[in-house]
Chains A and B, each alone.
Chain A
Amino acid sequence: MELCSFLTLDSFITDPLTHGFMRKALLMSSLVAAVCGFLSSYLTLKGWALMGDAVSHSVMPGVVVAYALGLPFSLGAFIFGVGSVALIGFIKQKSRVKEDTVIGLVFTGFFALGVVLVSKIKSNIDLHSILFGSPLGISLSDVKQTIFISLLVVILLSIFRKDLMLYCFDPRHAKTVGINVFFLHYLLLTCLSLAAVVGLQSVGIILVVAMLITPGATAYLLTDKFDNMTVISVLSAIISSLIGIYFSFWFDLETGGSIVLAQTFIFLFAFLFAPRYGIFKLKKLFAGYK
């Protein structure tokens, strides 16, 4: 605990920046957070939290297979991510098992397959870094891939921002006025798979779902405007990443866990103190009813 005695806020922030790996981690995690935060507002409104959970776990075998074959891991993740959703739909349709059960069943199956593959395929994949992320040890090729995927997702979401909002809000109307709902469905799934892949690096496969849910949920408590919700979601995600990484640096904490914990604390703060929807506005809420 020698650091606490001389630590000032200034050095708390600037000292880590003298390390190359920290600058890289901060930048990459912020980028990933921004992407996941952007997507998060759609997922929370669409009610796809469980789907996010499923896809992010299901990409695991895809990542492992891609590594083993020397392919970009985003490709493998994408195939397994979208494949898991297709399989969920298929099993749901062809059996009497309820949807949430099917989702739980499929993604744990895929996840287990991934774990088994890691142990079987001799490669330099570190199971721990897949499960819990390794933003501090990110390689140059990973950096390039992360930047590429992140930009792709941000561009796609930006172009189809309004259509996706309509799709989440009222898919029936979208269909009625000739908007391709099928395309939007798979666009959102694709973005979800890709975001899960990039998120995997900073917080790992187990916690990436938090990156996809928590910022959106926080923003949902703070605003009644969709555009603001997206902005708040992205900002809270980025801030959480920065807080998480700094804390993990100074207090020697698991980085992925710290980032997600920071998000959770921001959510709790919103939950308690959000101007309109926070707990401490309950009285006002009840006074509204005559």
Chain B
Amino acid sequence: METINYQNFRIEAENICVDYNGKVALYDANLRLKPGQICGLVGMNGAGKTTFFNALTGFVNISKGKIRINGESVRSAQKDQTIAYVPQNEGIDSQFPISVWDVVMMGRYGSMNIFRSPRESDVQAVKDAIERVDLTDHLSTPIGNLSGGQRKRTFLARAIAQRASILLLDEPFSGVDIRTEKLISELFIQFKNEGKTILLSTHDMIHVREFCDLVLLINKTVVAYGETSEVFTPENITTTFGGISPDFLFGPES
């Protein structure tokens, strides 16, 4: 097992900008995360959450700024399987003819040979990952036959099988059942103890308070960033959501 230096930054994004054909999606965004930290990414639809994820995974190129993953480029993070991305349920084709096992095995592709033929260790990693998300009964189930929660767990298992040290989760709690929600929150605690770094986007303010050490509020750029207890204030939330009060958005107790 590699030793984790908890003082080094896992993710460093400095003044990053992303534009799609001249349309600015994100500008001057900064983020620094260390091992064992869980950070919530909060913003409206179209505020640049997915763009932020895409920039970190290298799925889109940044037009300005700098991203370092474990002190190295995004390119070498890709090669090292450092980052795992867990998509929103809506972000995948649930009718694709593929089984739970095959999806989770995709987590291993990056470290396999060109034919992607699984070794004994890959098979073991996939088995373990599926067991951790409690889907052992559904190994060969097509993903189209799974519930929303089970599908979410399948993609979590893929991230686990990948053995990534950074997990990016797009709306991990949306459209899942209570059981899955409980399982995910247990996994978060385990991930934290294993020194993984987690960045998750969410609409649910309760989850932010419950799990996130840090919170990054964005609206095309960073509105506020810091410890959840300090930054996650009604004023900041109101600014992030374009002047709509959190009472209106989430009820008075938020």
Contact = CB atoms under 8 A, between A and B. Distances in A.
B54 A172 contact: yes
B115 interface: yes
B7 interface: no
A178 B110 contact: yes
Interface in A242-281: none
A148 interface: no
Interface stretch (A16-24, A189-197, A207-215, A220-228): A220-228
24 contacts: A45-B96, A93-B21, A159-B115, A162-B109, A166-B109, A169-B93, A170-B87, A172-B85, A173-B85, A173-B158, A174-B109, A175-B58, A176-B58, A176-B78, A176-B83, A176-B84, A177-B110, A178-B81, A178-B110, A224-B97, A224-B99, A225-B99, A225-B142, A229-B97
B83 A170 contact: no
B106 interface: yes
A275 B96 CA distance: 17
Nearest to B106: A166
Contacts of A170: 87, 92, 106
Contacts, number: 77
B97 to A, nearest CB: 5
Interface of B: 21, 54, 57-59, 75, 78-81, 83-85, 87, 91-93, 96-99, 102, 106-107, 109-110, 114-116, 142, 144-145, 158, 162
Q: Which 9 A-B pairs have the closest CB atoms?
A: A177-B110, A178-B78, A224-B142, A162-B116, A176-B57, A178-B79, A224-B97, A176-B85, A175-B59
B80 to A, nearest CB: 8
Contacts of B96: 45, 168-169, 226
Contacts of A45: 93, 96-97
A142 interface: no
**Chain B interface secondary structure, helix, strand, loop or mixed?**
mixed
Q: How large is the interface on A (under 10, 10 to 19, 20 to 34, 35 or more residues)?
A: 20 to 34
Interface of A: 45, 93, 159, 162-163, 165-166, 168-179, 220, 223-226, 228-229
Nearest to B57: A176
A179 B106 CA distance: 11
A121 to B, nearest CB: 38
Nearest to A162: B116
A159 B114 contact: yes
Contacts of B92: 169-170
Contacts of B110: 177-179
Residue with the greatest number of chain B CB neighbours at <10 A, chosen from A93, A162, A223, A229: A162
A234 to B, nearest CB: 15
Contacts of A174: 109
Contacts of A228: 97
A226 B97 contact: yes
A175 B57 contact: yes
A175 B58 CA distance: 7
B78 A177 contact: yes
A143 B78 CA distance: 44
Contact of A223 (B85, B97, B116, B162): B97
